[in-house]
Amino acid sequence: MKNKKILSLTLLLAAGSLLTLSCKKLPQNTYTVVPVDQFYQTPQQINAGIVAPPYTALTPLQTENVFQLNEASTDEMIIPIRGNDWYDGGVHTQLWTHNVAVDNSNDNGGWTDLSAGITKCNFSISILNSLKNKPSNAAAIAAEISVLRDYYLFLMTDLYGNIPLITSYDANASLAPVSRATVYAYIEADLLKNIPLLSADNSTGNTAIYGHFNQWAGYMLLTKLYLNAQVYTGTPQWDKALTYANMVINSNKYSLQPNFLDNFTYSNRGSVENIFCIPFNYPLIKGNVIQMYTLNYNNNLTFGLTAQPYNGFCAPTAFYRTFTDADKRKKMWLVGQQYTATGAAIAGVVLSPYVNELSNPADSFKYAGARSVKYQPQPGTGSDGTSNDGVRFRLADAYMMAAEAQLHLGDLNGALTNVNKIRTRAGVANLTSLSFDDLLAERGREFAWEGWRRNDLIRFEVATGKTYFTGARVPGKAQDAADNHTFLFPIPQPQINTNPLLKQNPGY
């Protein structure tokens, strides 16, 4: 029966453009179906039909559900209700206040997006395994897709805790959840097995592997896993986190980009710091819509956009104030009088850094909150995205993860050296002492809106006992319940309805 298996070519070649970085717009129609063994004959066909589809599932992670779960639940991003805008049934406010309902659409969307990525990985591996004439690099392809699946699994267990561990495209695969510690052990073993099979090349400007997991992206993921071991298993693994962070640093494959914001421009493919990115290439690869979600309605005039932004995401006041005027990273925030692209003041449009309420119908509230231009807005683009590649891993995080592990292991001088590399680039004075408060604040300034803040806050709270994640915040967030159930999101009720083997997380 294996030889009778057929595969529709719908979207597969278009998906292949994600990894080949082709500038041709490919048709998205179904022209034919062919037997598997007749299609997967060339490297291009393997790339388009097997390697690319699991990567396409990364696209919504840049700004949609998973991003919002990990940022809008923290001290560095808030989505206030401005009149009737951004109410959406209260789903965004629930993230900020940590009162997430089991039917929250972002919560369900995060589960769905990550499950889709896992399923695509499993399907591609099954197709690869079914080929009678496998490519010579089949083992490396399977390893790469397996590591990408580990990334999806890591994000999913981080958000939801106990999840089904489905690692094959098999109708009989168990849908019962397993413990977070079991998921951790699986990811660890799988990464250690597969990372050495990945390319060791530098991905910067290398179109053959840019947007792929290479060894260094794999070691970044392994470092993240070990850094969070105490959260996931109850046992810290700071020494292992330090080992693999240093492997990335000492590889000398990457260096700090001299200008911090150059990592996020709409031509950031040339960054010497970015290790793993989600490629976007407007108008061919769409979906990085952060400029639409954060900018004020009138900022289309500022940046030459083709549509009005949605006036949503902004920085809470306290977080914005952590940036000193000397800090070059403060330029990622847009505040004050707004201007057109030609330099004329836009009447009445003055963005305030103050967000003192969760909801206000007043016109003045439309201008509350610093807006992010970390990802450089791209003139001539609008509601369907920009060409800024979404940064997942970069060398600065290797330095900061190493510093965190060193601080836990008692190596203050080593931790200071690594943190001060980041501060020097930012134009702020070196630290001479370093507390966990200092380190967490520095991570906030360096990695704002890169999707790691919730993970950071919870990890630091577990390690130190200070209420970095569960504590009260302005505006309108009370101290979380003492049981810390908010460390996990609820298992979405629609998923439980579909799969009764799932068990709701405590406290929901």
Question: In degrees, to the nearest 5, what angle opens at C-alpha 347 toward C-alphas 346 and 350?
Answer: 75
Burial class for 484, CB neighbours closer than 10 Å (0-12, 13-18, 19+) = middle
Asked whether 248 and 217 are in contact (CB, 8 A), the reply is: no
Cα–Cα distance for residue pair 443/404, rounded to 1 Å: 10
b/e code 428-463 from CB counts within 10 Å (16+ = b):
beeeeebeeeebbebbbbbbbbbbbbbbbbbbbbbb
DSSP 3-state of 236 = coil
Question: In degrees, to the nearest 5, what angle opens at C-alpha 348 toward C-alphas 344 and 354?
Answer: 115
- What is the reported pTM? 0.93
Which sequence spans correspond to the domains of the chain? 290-323+333-391
Which pLDDT belongs to residue 27?
38
Which pLDDT belongs to residue 425?
98
Least Cα distance to 289 among 306, 272, 271 occurs for 306
Residues contacting 460, CB < 8 A, separation 6+: 436, 439, 440, 466, 468
Cα–Cα distance for residue pair 80/90, rounded to 1 Å: 10
Which pLDDT belongs to residue 277?
98
Could you list the pLDDT tens digit for every one of the 508 residues in the chain? 333 333 333 333 333 333 333 333 333 444 456 566 677 889 999 999 999 999 999 999 999 999 999 999 999 999 999 999 999 999 999 999 999 999 999 999 999 999 999 999 999 999 999 999 999 999 999 999 999 999 999 999 999 999 999 999 998 889 999 999 999 999 999 999 999 999 999 988 888 899 999 999 999 999 999 999 999 999 999 999 999 999 999 999 999 999 999 999 999 999 999 999 999 999 999 999 999 999 999 999 999 999 999 999 999 999 999 999 999 999 999 999 999 999 999 999 999 999 999 999 999 999 999 999 999 999 999 999 999 999 999 999 999 999 999 999 999 999 999 999 999 999 999 999 999 999 999 999 999 999 999 999 999 999 999 999 999 999 999 999 999 999 999 999 999 999 999 999 999 9
Which pLDDT belongs to residue 8?
33
Which pLDDT belongs to residue 5?
32
Which pLDDT belongs to residue 17?
33
Q: What is the DSSP letter of 210?
A: T
Asked whether 201 and 182 are in contact (CB, 8 A), the reply is: no
Burial class for 271, CB neighbours closer than 10 Å (0-12, 13-18, 19+) = buried
Phi and psi for 428 in degrees, rounded to 5?
Answer: -110, 160
